[in-house]
Structure 1
Amino acid sequence: MISEIQDILGQLDKPFTGEELFDHLPDIVFFIKNTKGQYLVVNNTLVQRCGAQSKSDLLGRLPGEVLRPPLAQSFEDQDRKVLETGQPLVGQLELHFYATRDVGWCLTSKLPLRNRQGEVVGLVGVSQDLRLPDLSTDEYQHVIAAINFAEANLHDPPSVADLATIAEMSSYQLDRRMRRVFGLTTGQWLLKLRIDLAQRRLRTSDESISSIAMQAGYSDQSAFTRQFRRATGMSPRDYRNARRG
């Protein structure tokens, strides 16, 4: 099979990157970067979300040159880690904040690209938008009960085991159903729920960051800041300023 794939790819008029395929998937950002972290290949979705006019506006440039700080810095830090360690980043839950002012949750994965000698020569990555949930079937009635409980108790967030008990199933069974509905594990969904509340309060209120942290179930403001930065690429204060600016 490998030799057959190599034979097909060897007959192509130009190298296959997947760019044209990903141009038809509007809910996925796709890119290939070199060892400097500069864009070599991008799809139309990334162009649009960067507020650019064409792909040429992004090629050869770093995230920091096409995206607003400090979000761009987190992307560059991710790239550097993958390029330096050769370890992939898989299924990172992130809140993306684009130059177009669009904001949305994505699952991001980045894989190192290696040459025949095994050396890292770049990376390839995708960020897929989270899909809208479908809870219309009877199968998910117990899941809805767990979801409602979590949403009503974010100040003291339940554990995955707690939610599984409410849903009358094992943690594994709940995880499987949450993946079907949200594309997330139960733990990822809980994190998203808490960060969603926090970013909404940061954007619409003048409450202190410590107060917002408590509402999202964080008794330690520093722990809240670390988690928020990991999910959004910026501190709560920077996020508030960026959204209002």
Structure 2
Amino acid sequence: MAQIEDILTQLDQPFTGEVLFDHLPDIVFFIKNTMGQYLVVNNTLVQRCGLKAKSDLLGKTPGEVLRPPLAQSFEDQDRKVLETGQPLIGQLELHFYASRDVGWCLTSKLPLRNKAGEVVGLVGVSQDLRLPDLATDEYQHVINAINYAEANLENPPSVAQLAEIAEMSPYQLDRRMRRVFGLTTGQWLLKLRIDLAQRRLRMTDESISSIAMEAGYADQSAFTRQFRRATGMSPRDYRSARRAT
């Protein structure tokens, strides 16, 4: 610890990680103050917001640079971390940006504390999820489970059922799913169902209740709650926002 402090005190400028994260295009990085305003951002976040320079973001909140439903979700997350001092770890989210890019991310936010232990801000990252290469014999059983889940979304299987199809224990299946998707089996199932729902909302005029059933939800309110948690907006708001782009 003393060696780290010695190095940090010799630096010309405080180290925030900004320069490092500027070279990681699949990761959004930011530091915010207690008002939820951006103090440090990387180039990826600037691009995702459809802006030209970091100065267009600094000192602003998500609500000032993003559309209301998505911005509200981010601000609610920030407020919870800042008020409770509890980190948000590995939140699976579907993001869409001013640039019209859409994708799944794993988001983590940690409180920043001063020497007195008071929360003075937060630091966060959102990492893009990328489709893995499963073309190996080792993962053939995993592919069987994935194919089964994709073909039975109206009555989605449990993690235990998928593990049985994959001929392994739930723990073993989880390890392989984490290795290739960066997600637990349960998180991947949720992603699969929300992916279907957001496609149907964007591309069809089906009722929300019908789409909920297609995605394996017998209860529309349960579907709405889970969809809002994953995307930051209701299915109705998501449909309107996507069609406005």
Match of 1:57 in 2: 56
Matched, 1:235 2:224: no
1:94-139 CA-to-partner distances (Å, cap 9, x unmatched) read: 0001111111000000000000010000000000000221101100
Question: What does 1:194-205 correspond to in 2, within 5 Å?
Answer: 194-205=193-204
Q: What is the rounded CA distance, in whole Å, between the counterparts of 2:150 and 2:160 in structure 1?
A: 16
C-alpha distance in structure 2 between counterparts of 1:11 and 1:192, whole Å: 45
2:6 matches 1:10: no
Secondary structure of 1:70 counterpart: helix
Listed as ranges, the matches of 1:51-90 within 5 Å are 51-90=50-89
Partner of 1:215: 214
Cα offsets for 1:188-241 (capped at 9, x unmatched): 000000000000000000000000000000000000000000000000000000
Q: Which secondary structure does the structure 2 equivalent of 1:128 belong to?
A: strand
Quick one: which amino acid aligns to residue 116 of structure 2? Answer: Q
Amino acid at match of 1:209: I
1:159 counterpart residue number: 158
SS at match of 2:2: helix
> What TM-score results when the alignment is normalised by the length of structure 2?
0.99
Q: Provide, for residues 7-42 of structure 1, a one-character-per-residue CA deviation record: whole Å limited to 9, x for no partner.
A: 000100000000000000000000000000000000
Runs (5+) with no aligned partner, structure 2:
none
**Distance in 2 separating the partners of 1:14 and 1:66:** 28
Q: Which amino acid aligns with 2:124?
A: G
- 1:113 is aligned to 112
Give me the CA root mean square deviation.
0.4
Q: TM-score, normalised by structure 1?
A: 0.99
Q: Give the distance between the partners of 2:103 and 2:168, measured in 1 at CA.
A: 30
In 1, the alpha carbon distance for the partners of 2:131 and 2:192 equals 14
Structure 1 counterpart of 2:146:
147
Identity of aligned residues (%): 87
Q: Deviations over 1:163-211 (max 9, x none)?
A: 0000000000000000111110000000000000000000000000000
Letter matched to residue 59 of structure 1: L
Q: Using the TM superposition, give the Cα deviation of residue 84 of structure 1 relative to its aligned residue in structure 2, in angstroms.
A: 0.2
Q: Distance in 2 between matches of 1:132 and 1:151?
A: 15
Code of the residue aligned with 1:150 in structure 2: it is A
Counterpart for residue 92 of structure 1: 91
Instruction: Map 1:111-190 to 2 at 5 A.
Output: 111-190=110-189
In 2, distance between residues paired with 1:90 and 1:63? 19
What amino acid sits opposite 2:131 in the alignment? L
Question: Residues 33-64 of structure 1: CA distance to partner in whole angstroms, max 9, x if unpaired?
Answer: 00000000000000000001100000000000
SS across alignment from 1:29: strand
- Specify the SS of the correspondent of 2:94: strand
Structure 1: gaps spanning 5 or more residues: none
What corresponds to 1:26 in structure 2?
Answer: 25
Q: What is the CA–CA distance in structure 2 between the aligned matches of 1:243 and 1:79, rounded to whole Å?
A: 24
User: What secondary structure sits across from 1:190 in the alignment?
Assistant: helix
Q: What SS is found at the alignment partner of 1:123? A: strand
Q: CA deviation at 1:69?
A: 1.3
Count of residues in correspondence between the two structures: 244
